[in-house]
Structure 1
């Protein structure tokens, strides 16, 4: 058994990392020496089998066109079976270089100009840009935030789903940024509303391997045959294994008609996994589970560290403790600040680069999202900087 050291500090400043780039931090956060706790990638080395596979592929010396090999597809099939108990077929899988490109092509395929796409704000902000940039309209079904917990407003969902112009629903499962793992009962109620109103579910399940005990992820397409035939399930090893720079995702579509329609659109740009993306996914799904289990333990400990720190040293700040993901949602609404004042406090005084809550849409105001997939010493440094910035306020 390999024991991984997640406490190791690894210098990423000269690796073209968007997260750590001084130029990018200066442009986005007005402070090039900010502690970067924003974009969702991890400050941990990948699992050793992935590193070994990439080194071996690099040493081969020829980097020609790749393709969806049987081994590549089988790795995704076996992973879903092993982690989620979901039996999928290789033929159901389409490749895209990331889920954001997939969502763009899905909107282009299944929507016309002026159609509507349901989201549940506050939500992963590229959802909003994808919809509007494709000349469609956002049909917002804001989550209900009550006593520190988030739930779905099903009555409002049903109302907006009835609109004949509503064609798709972007479901974030688990939800980013609020960290909810939707229960099977919640997914059933949501799915039944969409089926009744001919709304196609697009379930972004990129964080579905990052679930904290005792929560359990339910793939949307696993629930029933009816749901399977009315869904596109978007998966990827990128968040799970810190492979975002390799651009690989698996779009699972059991419905042959829907799959063929999307594949027809995808063939216009002729994309297949590159050689490095392919070997990384195969190594991750076939040999990375040991690393993932150790990662989840470390992340859970980091989350407990945040929880204790906030309660003991920043009592006016509230942590919405996530059931999944390595992204924590912090509520600063009790400080009496505006969004701009809170942003300036984080950027200029704390010098910690967090994602502003308002960019996630309605309901995100006065929140900040913090990425805690980093060595604990760095997390402590960031939290202490935030605490110091609150002196005289909280």
Structure 2
């Protein structure tokens, strides 16, 4: 399907639908007249096959307690194998109501209060919250940026683990917001350090399906069998197919010993982790949604190209991260905008609702994160408004 046809058939105006992204602007930003390119959900309908599967269940009319059937496991396992070359066993799989909930549960299960958890920043801001809110000690190893390309400071990572006696590494792969796909060699170095100091690894791989054409995602599960005893991987269809409110995600734990620890703990924090409608939608998406997703990725890549070309032409000192994955753009405006001016320029003048860089890392106050999962017209409008507001400030 052409990009124009995909947008025409799938783009939806979410205003006045109690959408956090569109109708929550006043509460989050203090303004209602902003173009929302912030929270990471999409302005596109889920695939028709997903909608039809949900409607079939609605017509059935019974919504009682349910579990994942064999066809669900087959769809999930086949998707991971075909799309990413990942091997998953049925018994490794657990469910929760969301990836953020999952890494909170795992932090609780795999560490004690006042023990240390390490993250690589800039990173999705609930990572910080999960560590602090669970009364663990937050340890941050900052990524190294060079002209929009981010790498890991392995010496700093290891030294901070050693000094702080870290128990858990909360990992983001692909990395949100900088858009990196971590190479196998990079993951091996990280995991070897973790094994050396007996650090458990939680790998949030929710953006695994948004991989730039020509690039290859490497899951923590694919790095080597020698690491599987120390790894828990988190995924969901919620990002890939715009299903966040159906509250369904996966926890993949290869280690039987870790599964026992996790299962024992999760019984104390969640009674029924299975979302019937989430499972129905996810199975349909993994069974029939591949072409829809490929068409969507074409839209994302076009939007990124349009955004980058327009910004680079008008504001040549802006640095845009080399997006290899996700549907998010990480943009450094610090050459043009002081930290104290960010809200005034972005919200008051450009009339944009975006995610501010300081939410992801205290050292990224000059950055913004732009959600590209919308129609191209919105991206063009946003860039025009941003450029105009910077040039007139």
1:38–1:353 Cα contact (<8 Å) kept:
yes
**For 1:313-324, what aligned pairs fall within 5 Å after superposition?**
313-324=314-325
**2:305 alignment partner in structure 1:** 304
* Matches of 2:102 and 2:331, distance apart in 1: 29
**2:199 alignment partner in structure 1:** 199
* Matches of 2:300 and 2:208, distance apart in 1: 14
* Matches of 2:40 and 2:68, distance apart in 1: 26
Corresponding position: 1:119 with 2:86: no
2:2–2:295 Cα contact (<8 Å) kept:
no
**1:56 alignment partner in structure 2:** 56
* Matches of 1:251 and 1:113, distance apart in 2: 22
Q: Using a 3 Å threshold, how does the CA distance of structure 1 residues 26 and 137 change in structure 2: closer, same or farther? A: same
User: How far apart are 1:39 and its partner, in Å?
Assistant: 0.3
Local SS of the residue matching 2:283: helix
User: How far apart are 1:12 and its partner, in Å?
Assistant: 0.7
Local SS of the residue matching 1:82: helix
Deviations 1:47-82 (A, max 9, x none): 111011111111111211222222222221111111
1:76–1:250 Cα contact (<8 Å) kept:
no
**For 1:88-237, what aligned pairs fall within 5 Å after superposition?**
88-163=88-163, 165-237=165-237
**1:285 alignment partner in structure 2:** 286
* Matches of 1:197 and 1:163, distance apart in 2: 11
Task: Kindly report the root-mean-square deviation, in angstroms, between the aligned alpha carbons of the 2 structures.
Answer: 1.5
**1:276 alignment partner in structure 2:** 277
Local SS of the residue matching 1:206: coil
2:337–2:390 Cα contact (<8 Å) kept:
no
1:125–1:360 Cα contact (<8 Å) kept:
yes
**1:325 alignment partner in structure 2:** 326
User: How far apart are 1:313 and its partner, in Å?
Assistant: 2.0
**2:14 alignment partner in structure 1:** 12
* Structure 1 length-normalised TM: 0.96
Deviations 1:279-304 (A, max 9, x none): 10100111110101111111111111
Local SS of the residue matching 1:19: helix
**2:350 alignment partner in structure 1:** 350
User: How far apart are 1:7 and its partner, in Å?
Assistant: 4.3
User: How far apart are 1:270 and its partner, in Å?
Assistant: 1.9
Local SS of the residue matching 2:121: coil
Local SS of the residue matching 2:112: coil
Local SS of the residue matching 1:20: helix
**For 1:80-95, what aligned pairs fall within 5 Å after superposition?**
80-95=80-95
* Matches of 2:58 and 2:386, distance apart in 1: 42
2:235–2:249 Cα contact (<8 Å) kept:
yes
Local SS of the residue matching 1:6: helix
* Structure 2 length-normalised TM: 0.96
Task: Point out where structure 1 has 5 or more consecutive residues left out of the alignment.
Answer: none
* Matches of 1:82 and 1:34, distance apart in 2: 40
User: How far apart are 1:178 and its partner, in Å?
Assistant: 0.4
**1:256 alignment partner in structure 2:** 256
User: How far apart are 1:164 and its partner, in Å?
Assistant: 6.0
Deviations 1:261-319 (A, max 9, x none): 11112223222322211110100111110101111111111111111111112223221
